Amino acid sequence: MKATYRCAVVIPAKNAMRFLPKVLDKVLGQRTPWPFEVIVIDSGSKDGTIEYLRKLKGIRLVEIASNEFGHGRTRNLGVQLADAEFVAFLTHDAEPFDENWLANLVMVAEQDPAIAGVFGRHIAYPTASPFTKNDMDRHFEGFLAHPLIVSRDLDRVRYESDEGWRQFLHFYSDNNSLMRKSVWETLPYPDVEFAEDQIWARNIIELGYRKAYAPDAVVFHSHDYGFAEQLRRAFDESRNFTEYFGYKLSPSPLKSVKNAVEFAIQAFRQELDGRYGRVTLAHRLKRAGQRAALVAGHCLGTNHKRLPYFVSSRLSLDQRLFKS
């Protein structure tokens, strides 16, 4: 049976009043040549988000208990409910840059029926630090050095032998993405603590589908984490990349210390493009702390099986969320 909508937008949300009203204003203002639906799945907000959403016209609100949330599980629910050919995802703090964001995602997917998923560009919020703005731009500019549509067939030998190439091919971010629902029907998201999007992308690549990058489908999305949160997020990233992909982001404690020192020195020496604004001493101090936390978190995460369980379970944000 033919879908009612060309595309649906699914947004998981919890305690989202800081960002969600502006995000939804931008989503509902998208200009497309076809109708689309918007589904927001709230998982137990306590800050007025649910009350706000109940009064808002133009969206479909789904309420679940907080203990029913899972990164893959909740997005699978959204796709299941969507009466659409394509399903786009945002997080509640990812704001479309302009009114063409959704049309640009779909336009890329329409180029080839073998494209199972598309991810779009992120840029930092105007309030982000100069270092964060630079990091975001450099990361996404890197994808422009390769074909915008990729598959394992680009270089099968390299895929088997080059870990970095495999990481590149399965990079995917549900902060700003779109999937073909017909592919999801046979290959839904895994119900995991972390990286459901990249695991799914790896699966579609290995099954012979294609993945695409949409540089013109842009969202504001960035974080300037403090030391503790950066440490814990890096721990989760490294722990789960080790578990799910076999990547060891920072296995050696001695090398980690060396890298942390080098990153700290770089934070005080690095000069940025003037378009990112004035770099202050406070920016450099925070950057040094963030980079040290990143390296430490990656090392702890890679070696998480050597840590006492009570330590690793308290370090992990995703593990605690997944088991709540």
pTM of the model as a whole? 0.91
Q: Are residues 65 and 95 in the same domain?
A: yes
Of 77, 95, 13, the closest CA to residue 46 belongs to: 13
Q: Are residues 209 and 253 in the same domain?
A: no
Q: Are residues 177 and 243 in the same domain?
A: no
CB of 93 closer than 8 Å to CB of 54: no
Q: How many angstroms separate the CA atoms of 102 and 36, rounded?
A: 9
Q: Are residues 153 and 290 in the same domain?
A: no
Q: How many angstroms separate the CA atoms of 26 and 48, rounded?
A: 20
Q: Are residues 186 and 292 in the same domain?
A: no
pLDDT band at 117 (very low <50, low <70, confident <90, very high): very high
Summarised one tens digit per residue, pLDDT across range 167-189 is 999 999 999 999 999 999 999 99
Please report, for the domain that includes residue 82, its CATH number. 3.90.550.10
324 pLDDT more than 50 = no
Domain boundary among 181, 204, 220: 220
Residues whose CB is less than 8 angstroms from the CB of residue 153 and which lie 6 or more positions away in sequence, other chains included: 208
Pairing mode of beta strands 60-63, 36-42? parallel
Q: What is the pLDDT of residue 256?
A: 86
322 pLDDT more than 50 = no
158 pLDDT more than 80 = yes
Pairing mode of beta strands 36-42, 5-13? parallel
Please report which helix (H) or strand (E) contains residue 74, including its range. helix 71-81
Q: What is the mean pLDDT of the chain?
A: 92
CB of 79 closer than 8 Å to CB of 87: yes
Q: Are residues 95 and 189 in the same domain?
A: yes
Into how many domains does the chain fold?
2
Q: How many angstroms separate the CA atoms of 180 and 246, rounded?
A: 28
Show the domain range for 42. Answer: 5-220
Q: Are residues 9 and 126 in the same domain?
A: yes
Q: How many angstroms separate the CA atoms of 79 and 73, rounded?
A: 10
Q: Are residues 138 and 256 in the same domain?
A: no
Q: Are residues 170 and 245 in the same domain?
A: no
Q: Are residues 215 and 133 in the same domain?
A: yes
More confident residue, 67 or 102: 102
Q: Are residues 170 and 249 in the same domain?
A: no
Q: What is the pLDDT of residue 205?
A: 96
Q: Are residues 199 and 138 in the same domain?
A: yes
Domain boundary among 220, 244, 263: 220
Q: How many angstroms separate the CA atoms of 232 and 172, rounded?
A: 21
Q: How many angstroms separate the CA atoms of 86 and 184, rounded?
A: 10
Domain boundary among 175, 204, 220: 220
Of 296, 180, 158, the closest CA to residue 231 belongs to: 296
DSSP string, 168-202: HHH---TTEEEEEHHHHTTSPPP--SS-HHHHHHH
